[in-house]
Structure 1
């Protein structure tokens, strides 16, 4: 997938609310302006891929407790040059959970978010232009905590706000 293909996905994405509509427009402009948008070497920000993983009943989501940020989030990470953002989201989901049987519910974008990552170890604060996809996994498959996390948990979607009530996460909860 090239920038043009990501822009096509962005153009056909139907934002859930006004904030996501703003993020979508900002991401379209960012991707068009920066040919290196998939590289973390672009220090102002870069495209990332994330997965909102749900169980087959759609009653639970799998969250990871991010070691560096000390918060619960969906899985996801840097593209590192891979312009196939769905592939990035799937790869990150597998690496961060140990799951091997993950199904892509849709190749359409599930959610768009732009958020700041704080300065750390000489890397300046920057933006993550996060493209999120809806994936499904079996809650009974064993989980493996990666070095990036301190915990993994299947959480009832109705209980997610107790772990992270940010607008970003709650938007995905409402879409679930």
Structure 2
């Protein structure tokens, strides 16, 4: 299946099965309908990124990066790179940026590629790359890993990688944090 068809399918499923009542993803859906090359970082006003919420098995901690360009702590992620599934793109970013060992896809995904959250975020321009301000349509996936294993930050893109209390996610990705809290309440 082509990238546009896979993306359209995953966004439609997400809206039907996961999204909250205020999640409409209007810009992303419009760009899909218009045939924008959302797998290319030069596509404006936005393009696809993937990211990973890497959790400790008890969901008490989350792996975060201190992002060089953005200058704050975030979940690992980046521009979509071709992969058999979107979650594999997110996983690759997490491993590259943090060196996290043996992360596995969270059981919530039931082995599939349905995102845990989709967040269309404003991104400041990057003059170094001649990029204007734009939107990242971020497909977000849950993974589990052992926080006792060592990390190795990818110094070109991150100042540091560290396990933080899960509450840190509330200020980074409030919708995903609320969804994760609901998931934990059901467990």
Q: TM-score, normalised by structure 1?
A: 0.86
Change (3 A) 1:150 1:28: same
Deviations 1:109-142 (A, max 9, x none): 1011111211222211111111111111111111
**Secondary structure of the equivalent of 1:22?**
coil
Task: Find 1:114's aligned residue among 113, 120, 124.
Answer: 120
**Secondary structure of the equivalent of 1:135?**
strand
Change (3 A) 1:33 1:82: farther
Which residue pairs with 1:16 in the alignment?
A: 20
**Secondary structure of the equivalent of 1:155?**
strand
Change (3 A) 1:125 1:81: farther
Distance 2:99 2:7 in 1: 27
Distance 1:85 1:35 in 2: 18
Distance 2:58 2:133 in 1: 38
Which residue pairs with 1:153 in the alignment?
A: 162
- Structure 2 unaligned segments of length 5 or more: list them: 181-187
Q: CA deviation at 1:38?
A: 0.3
Distance 2:174 2:74 in 1: 11
Which residue pairs with 1:58 in the alignment?
A: 59
Query: Do 2:39 and 2:47's aligned partners in 1 also have CA atoms closer than 8 Å?
Result: yes
Which residue pairs with 1:131 in the alignment?
A: 139
Distance 1:138 1:17 in 2: 34
- Structure 1 unaligned segments of length 5 or more: list them: none
Query: Do 2:36 and 2:43's aligned partners in 1 also have CA atoms closer than 8 Å?
Result: no
